[in-house]
Structure formats: structure tokens, C-alpha cells
Amino acid sequence: MIRFLPEFICRQYKEKKHSGKFRAVSLFIDMTGFTSISDRLKRYGKEGEEALSEIINIVFEPAIDSIYIHNGFITGFAGDAFTAVFPEEDPINAIIAGYEISQTFSGLVLHTMPEKFNVSAKIGLSTGNVEWRIIENPLQNTYYFKGDAINGAVYAQGHSKMNRVIIDSRLRNRLKTGIKLKEVSKGYYQVKEVDLSRSKIGTLNAFSPDRELLKRFVPEEIMDMKGMGEFREVVPVFVNFRPEKNPEDFINTIIEKTFQYGGYFNKVDFGDKGGIILVLFGAPRARENQAKRAVEFSMDVLNTAKHTNARIGISGGTVYAGILGSNIRGEYSVLGKMVNLSARLATYGDWGKILVDTHVFNQLKNIVVFEEKDEIKLKGFRKKTKVHVPLKMVTARSPVGMYTFVGREDDLLKLKEFIEPIFKGKFSGVIYVDGEAGIGKSVLIEELHQSLGERINYFYMPADDVKQTGFFPVVQFLRNYFKQDEEMEREENKKRFDEVYSRLYKLAEDPEVKKTLNIGKPLIAELLGIDYPRTSSLTPKAKYNNTLFTLKNIVKLESGEKPTLVVFEDLQWIDDSTKDFIRLLVRNVEGFPFGVIITGRPDSKGNPLRISGLDAPQKHINLTGLNLDASKTIIHKIVGTEPSTELAKVIFEKSEGNPFYVEMITKYLKENGYIVKKKGKATLRSKTFDIPGTINSIIAARIDKLDRDLKETVKIASVLGREFSIRVLSAMLSDRPVEKMILKGIEEDIWRSMSELKYIFKHAIIRDTVYNMQLKRILRELHRLAGETIEKLFKNNLNPYLGELAYHYENAGNVKKAKKYLKKAGEKARKDYRMKEALDYYLRLRNYIDGKERIDVSLQIASLKSYIGKWNESLEELMQVVKDGGKIGYKKAVAHAKTSIGTIYDKMGRYNESVKILGEARKMLEDLDDKAGLSSVLVRLGMVKRDIGKPDLSIELIKEGLKYARETKKHTAEHYALMNLGNIYFDLGDYKKAIHYYEESLKVAKKYRQKDNLAHSLGNLGNAYWAFRDLDRALKLYNQALSISSTLGDVYSMAIAQINIGMLFQELGKLNKAEEAVLKAIELLREIGDRVDECNALGTLGYIYTEMGVFKKAKKTT
């Protein structure tokens, strides 16, 4: 392996020493002629590269050997020059080494190709102090040597002529005998003869550098270079700076900005002109827009540094790039006229300014404002040089969209036909756009959006495979709709929310819609993380349903102002709450001008996904691969030239016409130099080339070619999901310039903007590939950082982020915090009536716990499964609780599990089994003296007895349960027991007692503000008074129940109240009022999709029409 570092630096680094100084003799050698050789050989291409590599070996190797044989070492190279130091008291070895090198170059003529080259060396030596320092940086370490000895050697070399060795007076004063000198100018002497016998010759030691140590200083792609260098387009940037007392901060800044802009930090050196740093753009890795990157880097450096402390020179062109030196000591560097020009420009310009040559100016003159300077005369250049000073960039990077819309014209026409009704004031229905990943679903929808422009509202609701929390796609839309900004103060966001919501109130003409908006306002605010006072107490179910209705009203109201498209993207990731919203949204909206588009991938068996229970017209479009001509159009856009048939066929066959794959494969071939222009067409460079086997591998290869800062940014963003917040990403990246990385990501087609502060990966495959290419260890650390960042940023209200926090800490392996947030997220989802989501959180939580805690969570899981109708699964969970609880003596959990089992058996009609297991639960709870538990089991047991025809025993059990509910102050259980007693007496025809218990339940509901229970008590009490033939009292109670249900937004209870009112009016002979009430009930039931009660209401309406003598209408209701 080549020794890229001095052994001295390796040894000090291993010993954890980072600075020091010592006395030494320094030697500086400048090999003249190499720039000319490089510039002349580059015209020969590959053969020239081979020839120059051979010359470097011939010239450098003996010179380096002489240094090391005489116990010196090379501190660093500067193109075709290098510096060596000899840390010893007797300077004779250094002088003999210089003398031997000069003799090697004497008369040296090199013949290669049809060319002949003269190479000579100018050598200077001095003595004094040498300081050294190692600078550690997480991106790349570096080091430097400086001091009197090194500066003196450079000055002495300046007095040398071809193949002469010059020493200064300081070194002369240390000499003893054996050297013949001749003064060539005041204080400088030529070495004429040397007594070689005085040399203390050493050996070329077998020092082998540690690769792990080495890669902290040198990129692995340089360490792994084999053989010769190459001619390539490079933009060298020299930064000349005035060294402060400790220049470490400035050097670290340069390293970080080098990585940020995609350059290579080559070296830092010190000499008579101060500090010099060389940064290369285009070597060892090529980038797009190298000149632009170099100038942006330089502007950023000067903006960061004190202007008066740095100046920069930039040129560009073809140079030789490769390893200079030999295996004993070598470095990666560049040779050529352009390199020398950059160095001269850096030390010529004014402090705080950048000078660029004409080559760079011509590339950037359309996007950079330049100040033109007079031609200047530079040392080493025969002609004057035209220079320019860049002042500012004049164009910002524009977001790069998705690939060209092509080959989908028929599908676009189908979409336009589908939405045509919305321009005629009607609902157009639902259309599914199906297709595999990358097939162009999003592109098609975006093309439709662009073609319609301002004619429509466009409500975009994308799902995310990471953030599958309740209403996630809807919340993304709401953030934009209500103009929410994470960077704003909470009060400002609340103010914006209020302003938009006020507009909704103005749009709403129907008092019932206004009422729904009023109930829903704090619920929508809560989705957005805005604290808002509630105007009424809602049960979880009522809260959930009101959220759905408010969301629907927003769409309905906006569609009344302008035809509206609602787009749900990625059905495969859409959560259950959003599906419920879609079901409600499309129900009973024939007269509202909006349409719904849903995109999605097929399932694992290739079947298209659908949302069950949609009560609306439905269509679908299935997207397949593009044809060859359409694929050629995409290729043409990317390479900028019409592709040859051969190139198009190769890409088409590999991609199978998937447009995203066409794009990725084309970019891969282009970026790796496989595409060239021949006879006006883009074609393959050769017939032998490698394309990675999968699209993920191709994407990974493209990501690997990104500059380090952008690659790290993309990796971190992938941890946040397909969509990510700039605020969170910025905080995770700490002090790195996120805005620049975001723009670069757009430029590289990695992501696109959703809003000013929200971005989305251009395709989910890109996000997934980047995420999965990272080591698990790194992912755990990034998830930990994401979790901690979200906690810190949103500490005042974590509720909207509980699911995300659970996800991040699970993947971070932080069990303690994963448990904490899974539990909180589960509780919040259950409270918000998002039962399936709550179930998912509790199932995940159970993986991290055991013992009693695990059993308690299992009871929650069983309850949720029962709630969503999965009775058999709930029974399995409960049976396991009985088994596990029995093993560890957790009797209370076993008793509650048996109570739940008995309840499910009752619902399933398995009454005998229900009575048996409820009896067991009762006995256990009595032993435990668990009165709250006894209240529950006794009431449930009483209801089973009622179901099997034993009302007396039922009443006895429920009354006993009521007693325990009152003792334990379980007021909801108390109300439930009273209502059931009323129901039993009602069924028995004892209306007086029924009224008594209903009125008792009413008192409990009023006292403890149980508004939903209050409506139920009023409704049942109305039924009892009707049966008791007090119709006026019954009507009053039904209207009170309707009013409370309306205040709560409980649509089902409102419908039931309207039906009761209608039937009562029918009995009173007020048929028109009866018709009005039942029609309102039918409309409400259609809104919530309750087909059974709608059919019953239609039957009631038919009877009313029959009594009215309107038989045609009566017939239509059947």
C-alpha cells in the first residue's frame, strides 16, 4: 500500500498527540518542466496518461528514495514539488540527499511518445524549528508542517538555478567540514562538492500504514486507486489565508464546506504567502456543475470567514490527476497549467475577493454577476491573464419535477371525462388509478392538475408508509389549507386557523352545517396540534364522527365555491380513519361538484386494492408500461440528445417500460460515462457494460455518487418517512446548511416540494432504497436522534407526534421510550375512537412487556378486538389472559377477562356459557371484594337473564349491580344500570316504573354532565310517556333529545329522534309534520350509511304517505 501519510504523523496520531515542534533541516525541491509535460501529453489521451505515469515513476522514485535513505521524510507534495525534513542535529544527511537528487537530474532527458522532455530540479535547504499539527474532523482529518526551517528552504530554492542545491546562512553556520560552498547571493550558498563518506545512510524501512487510521485522512476511493493517473476536467480552488494564532477553526470550516459542495479537500500548507489550502472539484470524483460548485463554495467560505483573512483563486480545465510520488511516499494531487494558474490567482488577488480565469467565467457568465478586471501578469505565465471577480449568483435553482409526461394521453383523457360532471355542478364519483411502483400514477394526476390550473381546487392527501397514524393524509392537507407553519409561534398558527375557519362559516348558509362546523372546530384544531377550548363534552365516538362530518363539510363548502378534486395517494398505506372519511365523503353528495381520485399499488397477488363500503359511482384506470417510443422521449429529455435505437432498446428492455425505471437506468448510464454522442445521437460507449441487477441497486449506485453532505442529508430524511419536515430535518442536521441540501436534492431529483416546509421523496422506492442501504447500527442512532428532536421541538404538545415517537424509539431500540409512547399513542387513539389504530399500538406495546403489565395490555387488546367486531379473536385473547393470569395469580385480571368472555357469549347468543362464566367471574370478584368489577358483572349477568326470559332475576341482579356502582361512584355504570332497569320494566309494560328509572338515569346524566347519556335518557323517557299516552310530554322529550344530539353532532341519535317525532306526529294526525321529520331522518341515515334504519324509516314514510293518500309516493318508498 502507498504511504499516503508520513510515518511521523501516523505515530503521533496513534499516541494521541496532536501538535508539537522540533529542530530540523528542511529541504524543498521544485521539479521544473512537469507542467509542460502534462499539458503536452494530454493530447494523446490514454497513451499520454500512461506516458506521464511512467515519467512520474522515473523522476520521483529515486528522489524520494534519497530522502528516506538519508533518514528524512516527506511532509507533503505540492504538484511537482515536495518538502522534506530531517529531524537531527547534524545537517549533513539532508545536504547529501539534496546533492544526490541534483546529480540524478543532471542531464536528464526523457523520451516518450514522439516527444522529448527535459526535466530539472531546483533545491533549497535551511534549518530551524518545525511545527506540526493534526486537525481532527469527523468528515476528514488533515495535518500540516510549518516553521522557520520550511520557509527558509523555500526561500533558498528561490535562489537556485537548474539542478543546483542552495543552502542559507543559518544552515551554513551549522556545518563543520566536508562540504565545498560558493556564495551565489548575499546569505545563500551553492553546494559544489560533498564528502559522501560522512553520510549516515539508513534503509528504506518497511513501515506499513494502518488502513483504518489512513482512511480518516484519505478517502477510500483514493487508497484503492491502482496504477496510473488520468487526464480529467478539474476545477482547482486555492484558498490563501492569513494564519491566525490557531488556524484550526478556519481549516475545519473549509473541510466542512468542501464536503458540503461536493469537492475534495486535498491539502493545507504554509509558506511565505501564509496558509494555502487546495480543494479540488472534479477529482477524484466528477460532479455536475463543477465550476458552479467551486464558485458557490468560495463565496460561502468568504461569507463565513472574515473577508480580510482569505482570498481565493479558481481556474478550470483538463489536468493530470493521480498519485504523485512512489510507494515509499505518495499523495493524490493534480498537475497542469490550470493548477498553477489557480495558485497564482489566489496569491495575487485582494483579500476578501475571488479571482477566476476565463474558462470558469465562460461557464458561469449567465448565472453569476462578475466584475471584470484588467489583464494581469502572473509569475510563470508569459502572456497576461484575463481575470474576473464573481460577485453574486443571479439565478436560484428551480425545482426539478418528475419525468416527462408521455405515453399516457388516453389515460389523461379518461380522467378528464371522469371529472367532467364537476364542471356541471355534480359529484363525479370515485376513480382508482392502479399500477405498480414507478408506473407513473403521480405523474398522470399531476398532469391533470396542471392542465386544469385555476379552474379547480386541488386537495392533495398523500399517505406515508412510516406515518400510518389516524387521518395522516388528511392532516397533511389541513396543514396547507389552514396555512400552518411549524416555524411560526403557536398563537400565529392559531390566528391563521381562525381566519380560514371564519371564511368557512361565511360559506355555510345552512344552520345545521354552521352547527357542525362549530362542534368540529376544536376537533380539527386538535388534529393540527392547536389548543382550542371545547364547546361541548363529547364521547370518543361522537368526537370521531364529528371530525368526519366537519372534514366532509369543508370539502362540500369549498366545492360550492369552485369545482374540487380530492386526491388520495398510495391507498396501500392509507389508515383506517382516512378510509372512514372517504366512505363518508362520497356518500349522499350527488349535488356537490367534486370528484375523488385514489391511487394505489396492487397487493402481493397482483390484485388492485379497493376501499370497501363506498356508496358512490366507481371507475378505475390500470396503468401499464410505456412503449418504446414513449421511453425514448424520457431518455431524450435526460441525455439532452435523441437516443439511438440501440440505446433505447437496452433501457426499454431493462425497465420493461416502467417510466421511473427508464429514468433511473438512463441517469445511471449517463452518470457513469456509458453514454456518448455519435453522429448526433446518444449511444452506448461500448457493448460491454454493467447495469446493477435491480432498480434498488441502480438507485443505490446513484445515491452513492452524491456528495457526502447531500448523501447524509438524504439518509437522515429517509428515516423521517417519505414526507419530511424541514424543521425536524434541520434540527437533526444541527448546524449544516439544510436549505442548500434541499435545493441540491431537488436538483438531483431526490425529492420535491409539497409546501415551503414540507418535502416528499420523488418516489417511495427512492426513500425505501436509501433507508434500507444503511447499517442497522446507523439507523438505530438516526431514529434515536429523530425521536429526541421531535420531543425537543414539540415539547409543548406532543399529542400529534405520539405515533411517530413510538415508531422512532422502537426502531432506535430504546425500549423504555418505545413503551412510553406506544402506550400514550394507544390511549390517545382509543380516546379519539380510532380503534384499529389503537389496537396496532397495543399489539406492538405487548412485544416489550411481560407479567401483569402484559396481561393488562392483553385485556385492552381483547376489548378493542371486540369493539371492532372481531369477537372470536377477542375470545382467544381473553382465554389466554385467563390462562396466563392464573399461572401468576393475577386474579383480578382473570375475573375481568371472564366478565368480558361472558359479555361476548351473550352477544353471540351463547347464553348458558355466558351465565356459567359470568358466575365464575362474580365469585372471584366477591373474593377480591372488587365492588366496581362486581357492578359490571352483575349488570351483565342480569341482562343475560333478561335475554333468556327471567326478568325478575334480571331486575334483582341489576339492582345489586346498581348498588355497587353507587358505592364506588362509577357514574357511567350507574346510568347504564338505571337505563337497563327502565328497559326491562318497559318491556314488561310497567311504564310507571320504567319512567321512574329513566328519570333517575336522567338525573345522573345531568348531574355528571353525561350529555350523550342525557340524550339517550330523554329518548327512552319519551318512549315511556308515549306508551303511557302522554303524547305532548313525549314530543317535548323527543325534541329535547334531538336538540342535545344536534349539539353533540350525534347524527345517529338525531335520526332516531326525528323518526320518533315523525311517528308521534303521525299518530297525532299531523301528517305533513310527520313527513318532514322522517325525511330529515332518512337524509341523516343516508349520510352515515345506516341502511337498516334507513329501510325502517322508509317503511314509516310509506305508511305516512298511505294515510295521506299519496299512493305513488308510498309505492316509491318500498
Q: pLDDT of 387-442, one tens digit each?
A: 999 988 764 332 333 446 788 999 999 999 999 999 999 999 999 999 998 899 99
Which residue's C-alpha cell is 416489550? 848
CA 782 to chain centre: 11
Those residues of the chain that have pLDDT short of 70 are: 42-50, 89, 113, 198-207, 226-228, 245, 287-288, 305-308, 394-404, 467-468, 534-537, 687-694, 735, 755-756, 1118
SS3 content of the chain, % helix, strand, coil (to 5): 55, 15, 30
Q: What global pTM score does this model have?
A: 0.57
Nearest-angstrom CA–CA distance, 507 and 514: 9
670 close to 288: Cβ distance less than 8 angstroms: no
Q: Residue 74: beta bridge partners?
A: 84
Q: Residue 1115: beta bridge partners?
A: none
CA-based nearest residue to 34, from 69, 4, 66, 77: 77
pLDDT score recorded for residue 802: 93
CA-based nearest residue to 546, from 1088, 1112, 182, 969: 1088
CA angle 952, 957, 962 (to 5 degrees): 125
Which residue's C-alpha cell is 478539474? 234
Strands 330-335 and 354-356, sheet pairing: unpaired
Taking residue 1048's Cβ as centre, other Cβ atoms within 10 Å add up to 23
pLDDT score recorded for residue 983: 94
pLDDT score recorded for residue 402: 41
pLDDT score recorded for residue 693: 58
Report residue 231 as a C-alpha cell.
Answer: 487526464
pLDDT score recorded for residue 399: 30
pLDDT score recorded for residue 512: 85
CA-to-CA separations, 696 to 50, 186, 258, in angstroms, rounded: 37, 69, 29
Report residue 1058 as a C-alpha cell.
Answer: 326525528
H or E element in which residue 168 lies: strand 165-168
pLDDT score recorded for residue 1072: 94
1001 close to 1017: Cβ distance less than 8 angstroms: yes
Strands 681-684 and 675-678, sheet pairing: antiparallel
For the stretch 630-633, contacts whose Cβ atoms lie closer than 8 Å and that sit 24 or more positions apart, written own/partner, are: 630/406, 630/407, 630/657, 630/659, 631/407, 631/655, 631/657, 631/659, 631/662, 633/404, 633/406, 633/407
Radius of gyration (C-alpha) of the chain in whole angstroms: 41
Residues whose CB falls within 8 Å of the CB of residue 25, separated by 6 or more in sequence, listed in order? 85, 86, 88, 91, 93, 94, 95, 125, 126, 127, 149, 171
pLDDT score recorded for residue 692: 62
Taking residue 560's Cβ as centre, other Cβ atoms within 10 Å add up to 17
CA angle 512, 518, 520 (to 5 degrees): 105
CA-to-CA separations, 601 to 473, 688, 769, 1044, 1075, in angstroms, rounded: 17, 35, 17, 44, 47
First to last CA, the chain: 91
pLDDT score recorded for residue 395: 40
pLDDT score recorded for residue 174: 87
Report residue 452 as a C-alpha cell.
Answer: 386544469
Nearest-angstrom CA–CA distance, 342 and 280: 11
